[in-house]
Amino acid sequence: MALIDLANPTRFLALANRVLPWLAAATAIVLAYGLYRVAYAPDDYQQGATVKIMFLHVPSAWLAMMGWGLMTVAALGTLVWRHPLADVAVKAAAPIGAAFTFICLITGSLWGRPMWGTYWVWDARLTSVLVLFLLYLGMLALYWTADDPNRAARAAAILALVGAVNIPIIKFSVDWWNTLHQPASVVRMDGPAIDPTILVPLLVMALAFTLLFFTLHIAAMRNEILRRRVRSMRMMQAASA
């Protein structure tokens, strides 16, 4: 059996039904442990207790970019192999990626006000993340307004590939331009610049958010497969009437 045969919608539904309860349970456990570690993490010597916002902001920022990365890989599946699950994956990831990008923007803004003295500044990092959020909204609008799912899939795949250009811009914006936003402090060539007492809770929260992302994504993919079945059955009903 070819690998691609394993990725048919019926097999995916069976797999999703088996995996989702375990994934949801793992998310709840890791999230509970992460929040416990966050509650007892020490204050930052400069930022005080506002560092607690980082435990939401940084994982959301990572997942905002990972979500678009996932959509980009799936978009290749749509354009190159025309695999039906690829478009399902793109469509299901869009609202989840948009939600995490929104959380990233909101928490960043609420962290910026006490630390920078402003909720917003048009620097390269903040602006490129706002562009990512607008790209997600564009993707959602494309799916919600399209009459023909096949044309929507192709257009969405192209938008995903074009939007992928923004991901390295977000990542390296703090290096390429002079920004108010601080440079990378975790994913760096010479190792994290954060003390382990804060880094460990941050990584646990990042794992919890990642598990949450995949739980919601698999559940949303399952919904989308069922929605397409409903559409196909309604078309057959209309054709036979």
Partner 1 sequence: MISLGPHASFIVVAYLATVIVILGLTVWIVRDYAVQRRILGDLESRGIKRRSQREDQA
Which residues of the chain form contacts with partner 1 (CB under 8 A)?
10, 39-40, 43, 48-50, 52-53, 56-57, 60, 95-96, 99, 102-103, 106-107, 110-111, 113-114, 212, 216, 219-220, 222-223, 226-227, 229-230, 232-234, 236-237
Which C-beta is closer to partner 1: that of 4 or that of 236?
Answer: 236
The torsion of the CA quartet 66, 6, 211, 160, rounded to 10 degrees, works out to 20
Q: Give CA–CA dist 167/170, Å, rounded.
A: 5
Closest approach, Cβ 219 to partner 1, in A, equals 5
Nearer to partner 1, 82 or 227 (CB): 227
The minimum distance between CB 151 and partner 1, in angstroms, equals: 21
List phi, psi (to 5°) of 46.
-105, -40
Contact 74/93 with Cβ under 8 angstroms?
A: yes
- Per residue in 197-230, is it b (16+ CB within 10 Å) or e — as a string? ebeebbbbbbbbbbbbbbbbbbbbbbebbeebee
Residue whose CB is less far from partner 1, 114 or 168: 114
CB of 215 to partner 1, least distance (A): 9
* Closer of 150 and 232 to partner 1 (Cβ): 232
Of 27, 6, 2, 1, nearest to 217 (Cα)?
A: 27
Shortest distance (Å) from residue 49 CB to partner 1: 4
